[in-house]
């Protein structure tokens, strides 16, 4: 089966932060209707709105975590996800839909998407 260019555009992308409250939810909100990728978000903490699970990790083609600590937390429980994870290095300094956060997410995500 040869992949088409269309297949490449419809990647499943999972954004992860700690509580799925500000950073990853902002990413999901701004990218989910872009028509290029399927986007979801989750958190690593037990208090997260949507908690990272094996099903979500299996669904994702790419897992974009906000900080190195998120990558480590995921790999403690889900070792098979290692090759899918990219660390964005975005600190927990922003509220949901903060304009600076949106700009950073767009810039860092574009860098990842152009590496495909």
Q: Which CATH number fits the domain that encloses residue 82?
A: 3.40.50.2300
Determine the Cα–Cα distance for residues 89 and 48; give it in Å rounded to an integer.
Answer: 19
Q: Rounded to the nearest 5°, which phi and psi values hold at 38? A: -95, 125
Domain limits at 93?
A: 11-114
2 is a domain residue: no
pLDDT of residue 111: 77
Give per-residue pLDDT as tens, 56-112. 999 999 999 999 999 999 999 999 999 999 999 999 999 999 999 999 999 998 877
Q: Rounded to the nearest 5°, which phi and psi values hold at 102? A: -60, -45
pTM, 2 dp: 0.89
Helices 99-114 and 23-31: angle between axes, nearest 10 degrees: 70
Indicate the helix (H) or strand (E) that contains 64: strand 62-65
Q: What is the total count of domains within the chain?
A: 1
3 is a domain residue: no
């Amino acid at each position: 089966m040869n992949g088409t260019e269309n297949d490449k555009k419809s990647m499943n992308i999972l954004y992860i932060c700690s509580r799925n409250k500000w950073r990853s939810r902002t990413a999901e909100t701004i990218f989910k209707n872009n028509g290029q990728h399927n986007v979801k978000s989750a958190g690593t903490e037990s208090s997260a709105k949507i908690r990272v699970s094996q099903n979500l990790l299996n669904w994702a083609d790419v897992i974009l975590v906000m900080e190195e600590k998120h990558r480590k937390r995921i790999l403690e429980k889900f070792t098979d996800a290692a090759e899918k994870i990219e660390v964005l290095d975005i600190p927990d300094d922003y509220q949901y839909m903060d304009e600076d956060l949106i700009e950073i997410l767009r810039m860092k995500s574009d860098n990842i998407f152009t590496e495909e």
